[in-house]
């Protein structure tokens, strides 16, 4: 459904409400976070990288100066923001006009429309760009054209392009890599560690990645803490890794972590992809004449979102693993945050859970034994307009 309310007149639950999403981006993190929050998600910001300021980047300056000494025959602009940043940095070093003069005699290729716009805004003329916005198609074009003996400037943007560079060099080209916006580790590693800990504790439902270095950084930091194997196992099973594109996904896929990606490498498309994946993170059960949908940190009862305290969610997940069957107080005590040995704590937590659910009949007391979800065996797919969800509750 796309309307703002369901067939019963209740406000429709946002597609990501009740889910917690980790955001590892450094650049455009606020924009991505806002898109996710608009869909109802709770955001956990944890920049995995920081961008080295261009004026401080000695590698970029050295690459620029080498192109002034020996101008390229071909130049590849991969991103609009990266190309503009390069021009602005060159201006700051007093090399802007010299760089433009060097590029005016160059055949400039653009990976996509944003790069093409930046090239034209700088007063340069672009020769070609692929319809797919793919670096692979740019490489194919260059190799078919022939690059033996050619000097080629390749503007990078945060991520190296080793396959492209190696293929061009093998074909006889002299490649100058222009490392615009290089990534370095975050100044404060605390948020990244807290995100990792939350993932391992079951408090995160999905993690978003907008660059390959961010994915690699998360894994590398976990390895430093000797947590990478545990992190990878969770990412393979119960947490969705959402990547903006295939290049970004590569470090995760190298560890056999499944990823989901949009057809177009855009933030909005990435959020829509997560929205489509969200149903498999939830579980929908017919309980005591109601429909109960378990999400990450909340529950939807008959189409109404209900916030559940952490202790209540821990109990509910334990009950949902065996819906309709009795779970003893001792078993439930073991899953309560903080543990302890007083089974009265379970009774208190169950009472609060029932109040949060809005219907005490959902969780049934079995005298002298424990509690059970009052499952309705053989119930249908739910009310008209409901979303029948699959997946397993964590």
145, 124 contact by CB (below 8 A): no
Residue 386 has pLDDT above 60, yes or no: no
322, 29 contact by CB (below 8 A): no
**How far is 347 from 371, CA to CA, in rounded Å?**
10
Other CB atoms within a 10 A radius of the CB of residue 313 amount to 26
Instruction: Give how far the C-alpha of residue 144 lies from the chain's centroid of Cα atoms, to the nearest Å.
Output: 35
Q: How many residues does the chain have?
A: 394
Instruction: Give how far the C-alpha of residue 393 lies from the chain's centroid of Cα atoms, to the nearest Å.
Output: 21
> Average pLDDT in the 180-205 region?
92
Walk me through the domains of the chain, giving residue ranges and CATH numbers: 20-49+187-280 (3.40.50.10090), 54-183 (3.40.50.10090), 283-373 (1.10.10.10)
**How far is 78 from 61, CA to CA, in rounded Å?**
18
Residue 122 token pair = 């700088």
Residue 144 token pair = 């078919």
Residue 342 confidence (pLDDT): 81
206, 270 contact by CB (below 8 A): no
- Computed over every residue of the chain, the mean pLDDT equals 89
Rg value, the chain, Cα? 26
DSSP code per residue over 110-161? ESSHHHHHHHHHTT--EEE--TT--HHHHHHHHHHH--TT-EEEEEEESB--
pTM for the full predicted model: 0.74
Residue 344 confidence (pLDDT): 87
Q: Cα dist. 48→190, 258, 382, 389 in Å?
A: 10, 20, 41, 32
Per-residue pLDDT of 45-80, as tens digits, reads 999 998 877 777 888 999 999 999 999 999 999 989
Residue 181 has pLDDT above 80, yes or no: no
Residues facing 208 on adjacent strands: 23, 242
64, 90 contact by CB (below 8 A): yes
Residue 120 token pair = 């034209």
Residue with tokens 């653009």: 110
Binning pLDDT at 50, 70 and 90, where does residue 392 land? Answer: very low
Residue 317 has pLDDT above 70, yes or no: yes
- At residue 255, the 3 state secondary structure works out as coil
Residue 229 token pair = 């194997």
Residue 162 confidence (pLDDT): 77
Per-residue pLDDT of 204-253, as tens digits, reads 999 999 988 899 999 999 999 999 999 999 999 999 999 998 888 989 99
Summarize the chain as % helix, strand, coil (round to 5): 45, 20, 35
């Amino acid at each position: 459904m796309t309307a703002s309310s369901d067939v019963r007149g209740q406000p429709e639950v946002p597609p990501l409400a009740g889910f917690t999403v980790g955001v590892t981006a450094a650049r455009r993190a606020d924009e991505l976070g806002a898109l996710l929050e608009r869909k109802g998600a709770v955001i956990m910001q944890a920049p995995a990288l920081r961008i080295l300021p261009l004026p401080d980047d000695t590698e970029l300056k050295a690459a620029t100066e080498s192109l002034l000494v020996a101008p390229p025959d071909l130049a590849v602009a991969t991103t609009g923001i990266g190309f503009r940043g390069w021009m602005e940095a060159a201006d700051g070093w007093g090399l802007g006009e010299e760089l433009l003069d060097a590029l005016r005699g160059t055949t400039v290729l653009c990976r996509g429309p944003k790069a093409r716009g930046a090239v034209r805004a700088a007063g340069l003329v672009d020769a070609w760009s692929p319809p797919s916005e793919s670096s692979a198609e740019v490489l194919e074009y260059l190799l078919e054209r022939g690059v033996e003996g050619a000097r080629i400037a390749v503007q990078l943007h945060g991520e190296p392009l080793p396959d492209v560079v190696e293929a061009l060099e093998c074909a006889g080209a002299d490649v100058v890599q222009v490392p615009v916006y290089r990534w370095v580790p975050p100044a404060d590693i605390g948020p990244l560690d807290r995100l990792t800990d939350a993932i391992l504790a079951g408090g995160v439902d999905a993690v978003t990645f907008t660059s390959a270095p961010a994915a690699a950084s998360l894994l590398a930091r976990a390895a430093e803490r000797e947590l990478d194997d545990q992190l990878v196992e969770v990412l393979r099973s119960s947490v969705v890794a959402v990547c903006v594109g295939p290049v970004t996904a590569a470090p995760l896929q190298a560890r056999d972590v499944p990823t989901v990606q949009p057809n177009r490498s855009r933030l909005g498309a990435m959020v829509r992809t997560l929205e489509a994946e969200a149903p498999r993170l939830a579980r929908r059960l017919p309980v005591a004449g109601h429909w109960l949908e378990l999400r990450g940190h909340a529950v939807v009862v008959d189409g109404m979102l209900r916030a559940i305290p952490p202790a209540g969610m821990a109990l509910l997940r334990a009950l949902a693993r065996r819906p309709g069957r009795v779970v003893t107080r001792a078993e439930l005590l073991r899953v309560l945050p903080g543990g302890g040995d007083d089974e009265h704590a379970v009774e208190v937590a169950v009472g609060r859970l029932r109040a949060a659910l809005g219907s005490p009949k959902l969780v049934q007391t079995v005298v002298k034994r424990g509690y059970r979800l009052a499952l309705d065996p053989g119930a249908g797919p739910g009310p008209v307009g409901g979303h029948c969800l699959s997946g397993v509750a964590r």
